Amino acid sequence: MPRRARIALPGVPLHVIQRGNNRQACFFADDDYRLYLDQLKLCARRTGCAIHAYALMTNHVHLLLTPCKADGAGRMMKLLGQRYVQYVNRRYQRSGTLWEGRFRSCIVQDETYLLGCSRYIEMNPVRAGMVAVPSAYRWSSYRANALGDADPMIEPHPIYIALGNLAEKRQSAYQALFTETLDAGLMSDIRHATNGNFVLGNPRFQAEITAALGRRAVPGKSGRPRKQAEPASRDLF
């Protein structure tokens, strides 16, 4: 069965996740994280992708980005993956694949889900028990978005900018989002949409994206379609 084409539209945010092969480590030392971020910045600019949030975990990567072209994220991840795998194989004298097949992604409705998705990404190290608070993790965008630390990678999304008319107000408002526990239903929706290459949004947004793409962008109903009953015979014998 052919793979379902990715769902992507220019100017519409995407949540992207890429895992290490067999969920094995893809970062082994601080220099690996630094090089990946350097290459991510270069590849994002080359392919016209704006990075809004990220978290580099030991065995996977989360990104929240907006491509200027529908194929921008695909081209960025391909270029980035090639460069990083070449570096890892050369440095650690290994060969073969590093990533678990294709990256996974979902379109994100900005006005409703974008900040929730950003929180989901930057809270990943806390949920994994690696740190107690998101600001303690070095390899995420939290300190840039919430504390104003310089990070040339980050291009704020208009939804983030709308949090306040000054940088300090935006950062304070963003920090306040993290004082509440992320809703379990939202986390489930993010995971399901990303793993399935579906739309993360309300029914109206899902319908709009389906219409724009001209194909299904939400999960189908499980089970086989019910076979229609044959019309009863009009014959009397």
- 115-127 pLDDT, tens per residue? 999 999 999 999 9
Q: Give the CA count within 13 Å in the CB-facing half-sphere of 106.
A: 25
pTM to 2 decimals? 0.89
Q: What is the pLDDT of residue 112?
A: 86
Q: What is the pLDDT of residue 143?
A: 98
Strand-pairing partners, residue 62, are 17, 55
Q: What is the pLDDT of residue 83?
A: 96
From residue 202, alpha-carbon distances to 109, 110, 186 in Å are 8, 11, 12
The CATH number of the domain covering residues in 14-197: 3.30.70.1290
Res 40 pLDDT > 60: yes
Annotated domain spans of the chain: 14-197
From residue 86, alpha-carbon distances to 10, 96, 106, 179, 213 in Å are 29, 10, 27, 40, 35
Q: Got the DSSP string for 92-157?
A: TT--S--B-SS-EEEEE-HHHHHHHHHHHHHTHHHHTTS-SSGGG-TTBSHHHHHH----TTB---
**For residue 154, which phi and psi values (nearest 5 degrees)?**
-80, 130
Q: What is the pLDDT of residue 220?
A: 64
Res 237 pLDDT > 70: no
Lowest model confidence (mean pLDDT) among 38-52, 154-168, 222-236: 222-236
Q: If you average pLDDT over residues 132-152, what whole number do you get?
A: 97
Q: What is the pLDDT of residue 111?
A: 87
Q: Nearest 5 degrees, angle CA 160-CA 166-CA 167?
A: 65
Q: If you average pLDDT over residues 102-107, what whole number do you get?
A: 94
